[in-house]
């Protein structure tokens, strides 16, 4: 029998088969990167369910069926994915407030998600959006993160964007 993580890779790839990132790359690169941050970079450890949630964290937003998710991966994984899914019409502030009460591992998945998005933010070709994403991270995401490793990595990624944003702003003002 295949491991639950291997099943999650297959499910995620099917769910995101037709989706693209802002910069045009296949969407599946993102959940794989979030998984790799948690499993290969993070200096702590996370449960197998958290690894699965990392792989599946965007599947509901992209149209995956809750019943199928629960059937394949169980109630705990479904609930974790639902917590990480921003509800239609929900403000980002309300979403962040809801995440504040989430279990630590769910908040670590969110930190890994945000870290990957920050690392890729400038590839989208919109420095103003990237700077706004940094602001949103400082205001809404950092208060959710209680892990020193993630706080350091998020700060480094935000700093790179801030520096490039300053250079872009200076070029516009010339």
Q: Dump pLDDT digits (tens) for 68-125.
A: 999 999 999 999 999 999 999 999 999 999 999 999 999 999 999 999 999 998 887 8
pLDDT in tens, 131-155: 999 999 999 999 999 999 999 999 9
For residue 174, the model assigns a pLDDT of 40
Average pLDDT over residues 54-60: 96
For residue 170, the model assigns a pLDDT of 47
Helix (H, G, I), strand (E, B) or coil at 26: strand
CB 147 within 8 A of CB 111: yes
Provide φ and ψ at 8, rounded to 5°.
Answer: -65, -40
Share of the chain above pLDDT 90, in %: 81
Instruction: Enumerate the domain spans of the chain.
Output: 4-173
Q: Which long-range contacts (CB under 8 A, 24 or more apart) does 126-129 make?
A: 126/22, 127/164, 127/165, 127/168
Is CATH 3.90.1150.140 the classification given to domain 4-173?
no
Q: Is pLDDT at 50 greater than 90 in this prediction? A: yes
């Amino acid at each position: 029998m295949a491991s639950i993580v291997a099943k999650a890779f297959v499910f995620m790839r099917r769910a995101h088969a037709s989706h693209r990132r802002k910069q045009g790359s296949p969407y599946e690169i993102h959940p794989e990167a979030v998984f790799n941050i948690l499993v290969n970079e993070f200096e702590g450890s996370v449960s197998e369910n958290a690894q699965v949630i990392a792989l599946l964290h965007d599947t509901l937003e992209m149209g995956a069926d809750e019943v199928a998710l629960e059937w394949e991966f169980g109630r705990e994984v479904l609930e974790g994915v639902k917590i990480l899914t921003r509800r239609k019409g929900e403000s980002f502030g309300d979403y962040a407030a809801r995440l504040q009460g989430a279990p630590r591992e769910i908040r670590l998945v969110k930190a890994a998600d945000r870290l990957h998005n920050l690392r890729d933010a400038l590839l989208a070709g919109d420095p103003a959006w990237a700077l706004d994403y940094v602001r949103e991270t400082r205001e809404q995401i950092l208060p959710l993160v209680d892990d020193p490793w993630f706080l350091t990595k998020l700060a480094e990624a935000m700093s790179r964007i801030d520096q490039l944003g300053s250079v872009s702003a200076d070029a516009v003002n010339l």
